[in-house]
């Protein structure tokens, strides 16, 4: 139970979400072993999510016993079907057993030129397929050094979130680009400032109820040694974890750090 003092004095319950982004890693055998270890060790008190590469979704989904661990994709196309070589439709992810999809990750924004507008249309497609969209935002080091962090996050939210989101179908992940895979994490004060800003932005656009209910994750070099501090920050509702999600022991230790 977390209180959001800034959100119209309302008290809400947001179940923490610990999401693992495996990126482009894993064989079938490794993925099944990792999934089983996570499933067997999943602590209560938070929701766990595994986002494997697309071709590994079916074996990962099949390896789960149907408990507290969900499966998600790492991207989807905005169209439901058609001539889009190499892409995957949201409805295909749903059919393969996914409940979530990560959208607008900074690696996709950088490697594939994804714009806020594209992320918004993918988010709409995810919702239409019944998936929960994890929409990623975050500033570069140059933007942080230039004092542009909050403005950058604000414009990404404005452009990437459709008008019809709900607290149930959308999760926001704040991931400073300079902290992803670098071993550097944002300070607790910086994370708190950005999370408060994000929730305030959401309240202005979507209202206090939605702002009080939506989960906002932190991502960027979260590991067992810093998870407790990051997850205890007011307004942080879990983590999006890259490197440390590839080791069951580390991922479960992070999950066990949820307050």
Interface residues toward ligand PEP, by CB under 6 A: 21, 175, 180-181, 219-222, 240-244
Residue with tokens 């990126």: 23
Q: Which is nearer to ligand PEP, 123 or 221 (CB)?
A: 221
> How far, in Å, CA of 46 to CA of 254, rounded?
11
- Residue 204 beta carbon to ligand PEP: minimum distance, rounded to whole angstroms: 26
Minimum CB–partner distance for residue 21 and ligand PEP (Å): 5
Q: How far is residue 159's CA from residue 120's CA, in Å, rounded to a whole number? A: 7
SS3 of residue 201 by DSSP: helix
Which of 174, 206 has the CB closer to ligand PEP?
Answer: 174
- DSSP state letter for 173: E
Name which of 22, 16, 21, 24 is nearest 42 in CA terms.
Answer: 16
What residues contact residue 111 under an 8 Å CB cut-off, 6+ apart? none
Q: Which residue is nearest to ligand PEP (CB)?
A: 242
Q: Which is nearer to ligand PEP, 143 or 175 (CB)?
A: 175
- For 32, the token pair is 């099944």
Helix (H, G, I), strand (E, B) or coil at 197: helix
Upper half-sphere CA count for residue 150 (Cβ side, 13 Å): 13
Q: Annotated active-site positions, please?
A: 105, 175
Judge whether 248 and 41 are in contact, CB under 8 Å.
Answer: yes
Closer by beta carbon to ligand PEP, 175 or else 201: 175
Please state, in angstroms and as integers, the Cα–Cα distance from residue 97 to each residue in 1, 48, 70, 186, following that order: 29, 15, 9, 34
Q: Which is nearer to ligand PEP, 91 or 173 (CB)?
A: 173
With a CB cutoff of 8 Å and minimum separation 6, the contacts of 143 are 149, 152
Minimum distance from CB of 104 to ligand PEP (Å)?
A: 11
Shortest reach from residue 249's CB to ligand PEP, in Å: 15
Pairing label, strands 170-174, 47-51: unpaired
């Amino acid at each position: 139970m977390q209180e959001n003092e800034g959100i119209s004095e309302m008290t809400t319950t947001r179940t923490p979400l610990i999401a693992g982004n495996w990126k482009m890693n894993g064989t079938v055998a490794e993925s099944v072993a990792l999934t089983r270890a996570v499933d067997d060790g999943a602590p209560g008190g938070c929701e766990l999510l595994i986002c494997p590469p697309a071709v590994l979704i079916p074996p990962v989904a099949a390896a789960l016993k149907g408990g507290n661990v969900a499966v998600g994709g790492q991207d989807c196309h905005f169209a439901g079907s058609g001539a889009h070589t190499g892409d995957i439709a949201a409805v295909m992810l749903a059919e393969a057993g996914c409940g979530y999809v990560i959208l607008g990750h900074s690696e996709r924004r950088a490697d594939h030129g994804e714009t806020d507008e594209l992320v918004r249309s993918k988010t709409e497609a995810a919702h239409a397929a019944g998936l929960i969209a994890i929409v990623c935002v975050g500033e570069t080091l140059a933007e942080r050094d230039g004092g542009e962090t909050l403005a950058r996050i604000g414009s990404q939210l404005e452009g990437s979130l459709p008008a019809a989101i709900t607290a149930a179908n959308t999760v926001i992940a704040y991931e400073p680009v300079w902290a992803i895979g670098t071993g550097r994490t944002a300070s607790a004060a910086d994370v708190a400032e950005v999370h408060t800003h994000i929730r305030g932005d959401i309240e202005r656009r979507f209202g206090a109820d939605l702002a009080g209910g939506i989960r906002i994750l932190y991502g960027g070099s979260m590991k067992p040694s810093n998870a407790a501090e990051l997850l205890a920050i007011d307004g942080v509702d879990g983590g999006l974890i890259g490197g440390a999600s590839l080791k069951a022991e580390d991922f479960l230790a992070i999950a066990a750090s949820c307050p």
